[in-house]
Structure 1
Amino acid sequence: MMWLFAVLVVLAMAGVALVASGRGGSMPPAHDDRPDLALPTDRAIGAADLRAVRFPLAVRGYRMSDVDALLARLATELEDGRGTSSGDLDRA
C-alpha cells in the first residue's frame, strides 16, 4: 500500500513539473475585468461626459464621494464656461 502512495506522489510531482515547464499548454491572456470609462475619443470631453463617468472600485483607492464631488464641480464649471487654466491646476 505504501508503494501505491509513493507512485501517486511521484506521478503528481511529474505532472506539476510538466505543467510548470510549459508542456501542458500556456495560460490564456489575462482578462481585464475593469469597466471602461467610456470617454469620447473623437471630440472634447464635455460636462455630460464628466457627469456620466463612474470609476471602478478598488481595495486601496480614492473615496467615491470625493471623486464624485470633484467630477460634479468640473462638470458645473464646464457648463458655466468657468474652466480653470492649466496654471490653476498646477497649484492644486
Structure 2
Amino acid sequence: MFLFLLIAMVIVVAAVTLAVVGGGDSTVLPDVPPEQLVDPLPVSRPVGRADVEALRLPVGARGYRMADVDEVLGRLGAELAERDARIAELEAALAGAQATAVSSPDLFKKPGEESGR
C-alpha cells in the first residue's frame, strides 16, 4: 500500500511540474502583457471628484503598478497645490477688499449723499 501511494505521489508531482513548466511549450502559461491604466485622469481639464472615484489602477504581480500610482499621485498633488494657491490668492484678495471697505469713511453712505450732513 505504501509503495502504491509513493508511486501515485511521484506521478502527481511529475504531472503538476510538467503542467507548470510546459515542457518547452509556451501555450500552457503564455506571457501576458502588463495591464495598462485604461482611463487616466483627464489632461484637458481639472480633475474632479468623479474622476478620482472612477479611477481604477491596474494590478501587477505584487500589488499596484508603482509607475501608474506615482503618475496619478503626482497629478493629484499638482492639482491640489494649484487649487491651494488659488484659494490663498482669493482669500488674500478678499481680505484686501474687506480691509479697504472697513477703512473707507463713506461705508454707510448711499451714492449721491453729501458728506456734510
- With normalisation by structure 2, the TM-score equals 0.36
Q: Which has the larger radius of gyration?
A: 2
Asked which structure has the greater RCO (Cα within 8 Å, sep 6+), the reply is 1
- With normalisation by structure 1, the TM-score equals 0.43
